[in-house]
Amino acid sequence: MRKLSDFLIAAIAGLCALVAAGILVGLVFVVAQRGLPALSWSFFTEQIRLVGAAGGIFWNLIGTIILLGAAFVICAPMAVGLALVERVWLRSNTARRALRTVLYTLNGLPSIIFGIFGFIVFVQWCGLGKSWLVGGIVLALSMLPTVTVALIERLKAIPAAYVEAAAALGLNRAQIVWAVLLPQAWGGLVTGSLLGLARAAGETAPIMFTCTIFAGATWPHGIKDSPVLTLPYHIFILAQDSFDPAVGAKLWGAALVLLVLVFLLSLVALPSRLKMHEEANV
Amino acid sequence: MSEPCSTSATPQSAVANASVLRVRDLAVFANGKPLLRNVSFAVEPNQVFGVIGPSGAGKSTLLRALNRLTDLIPGLRVTGDVRLHDQPIYEASVDVNALRGRIGMLFQQPVVFPASIEENVLFGAKRLRSLHGSVRHELVESALREAALWDEVRDRLRASALALSVGQQQRLCLARALAVEPEVILMDEPTSALDPKSTQAIEELILRLKVRRTIVLVTHNVAQARRVTDWLACVCLRDGAGEIVESACSDAVLSNPQCREVIDYLANAP
């Protein structure tokens, strides 16, 4: 009886894992199969023509990279500051828990809320209009919890003996942060940022009315009213609004490029993540 | 427990002002529960002041109360009076970091930072005062020489400190503490993680260091206490909190202990 139930549970768990893996493989397969024919050198180097039915995605790729770069630059200092506040400056557990709750809540916010927030505050109130900077800020906010939590975990994994040894030498708190904590937490910042960026890269809701348009933008010419083209929005518009069959292949091509971009970001983060687990086991 | 034990501190002839460290009625509480109580003693200049006693009696906590590392541990509260050269160290106006620069510390496990040997030696010193090129090299050399490590690492100062043996790492930690020029060095069972050869090296170092500095040594090893300490304080648990049950010149404590707990401890000690 016990053997049977054991076998059943193993079988069900195995089946679930198989279904999950199958969906992932199937999804990648479909995107790859339909997207590969569209890929060519010119697909990456040309701009959109004929409302997406011809040409390439050069400016969309550039725009997405600009947004990710801005998001990283804006997010990293905020995440470092928050993580240090949580680990070093907050001494009461209640305050720490409150900060963590805020972070997890922020992480759970639907991305459209970030979009609305960015639209109302930056696009309208601040009068920036649709701008790559607003997109960077909004994406930075949406990935802030991921990066901060990764940093906090890395800071936690630093043995207390290091802090004690540095303090025993007479270093003050700021010196301990610079000399001991930050050098060892650097990996957490990189890992967290890459994972956050991997998610941010595919976000459509936060950017669609804050920073991106469908066609006609190239390099940002300033900060105000300076939108960019992006991959997710490109896919969104083509998938939703085009009946042109020629668009189909280009659409899948763009989807494949986005998928590979996200996959690469996660892949680069992998060694650092594995290392983090090793250290946590010590 | 039945017979009263003498808790005589240093003889009165050692006048207060001459002592490097003077502790009066020190008590440490963890979340309100006492870990140490009624601790009083004085450490004279160029002395190796030993602290022995069973595990868990609070020896490490006592040591950490002397350079206020206890501040870093949440929930710990320290009462009483600790003076360094007659200056109370627990007063609000005291610069704790400067205090820790004057009282160096060596831990049970060597803690080297993931950096080069040279960087480890300068880890504290270069942040506490500005050091220029040639001064740096001189300091690295003198600190490593003083810690008896120079000859072993002189050719690989830029190599990672993590590649050193545990015994070498402990001497590197000592060099790092010495580079800050402390007057007092606190040592928390510095040889318990080391092999006999490294242990001997550290013991020889302690005897050399006391010529210029004052050392407070917590040890588990009675033979070591006999070899290097001048004065011994025995910390034992009474009613759940550590107290100094006997404090005298180390020959006296080791050859003719007065207190029942100390007699038992010495009889069973390694």
| A235 within 8 A of A254, measured Cβ to Cβ | yes
Cβ separation of B124 and A169 shorter than 8 Å? yes
> What pTM did the predictor assign?
0.77
Q: Do A170 and B114 touch (CB under 8 A)?
A: no
Q: Would the CA dihedral through A168, A174, A180, A185 be positive or negative?
A: positive
Question: For chain A, which ranges sit under pLDDT 70?
Answer: 51-53, 242, 275-282
pLDDT at B269: 74
Angle at A91 between CA A86 and CA A93, to 5 degrees: 80
Return the pLDDT at A229.
79
Largest CA distance in chain B: 63
Q: Are A47 and A217 in contact (CB under 8 A)?
A: no
Averaged pLDDT of chain B: 87
3-state secondary structure of A273: helix
* pLDDT, tens only, A176-223: 999 889 888 888 888 888 888 888 888 888 888 887 777 777 787 777
| pLDDT attached to residue A253 | 83
Name the phi and psi angles at B57, rounded to 5.
Answer: -85, -10
Chain A nearest CA to B264, separation (Å): 33
Task: Report ipTM (2 d.p.).
Answer: 0.85
Mutation to test the A interface, candidates B112, B113, B162, B173, most A Cβ within 10 Å: B113
Q: Strands B21-30 and B76-84: what pairing? A: antiparallel
* Mean pLDDT to the nearest integer, B15-28: 82
What residues contact residue B228 under an 8 Å CB cut-off, 6+ apart? B48, B50, B203, B206, B207, B217
Nearest to A169 among B109, B114, B177 (CB): B177
Which chain B positions have a beta carbon within 8 Å of A180's beta carbon? Answer: 113
Determine the 3-state secondary structure of A269 from DSSP.
helix
What token pair was written down for A13?
Answer: 């768990």
Residue of B nearest to A89 (CA): B72
* Distance between CA atoms of residues B231 and B105, nearest Å: 19
pLDDT value, residue A248:
76
B50 sits in which H/E element: strand B48-52
pLDDT of B252 > 90? The answer is no
**pLDDT value of position A38:** 77
Query: What does the pLDDT read at residue B17?
Result: 58
pLDDT of residue B1: 37
Could you give the dihedral angle defined by the CA atoms of residues A145, A150, A153 and A155, in that order, rounded to the nearest 10 degrees?
-100
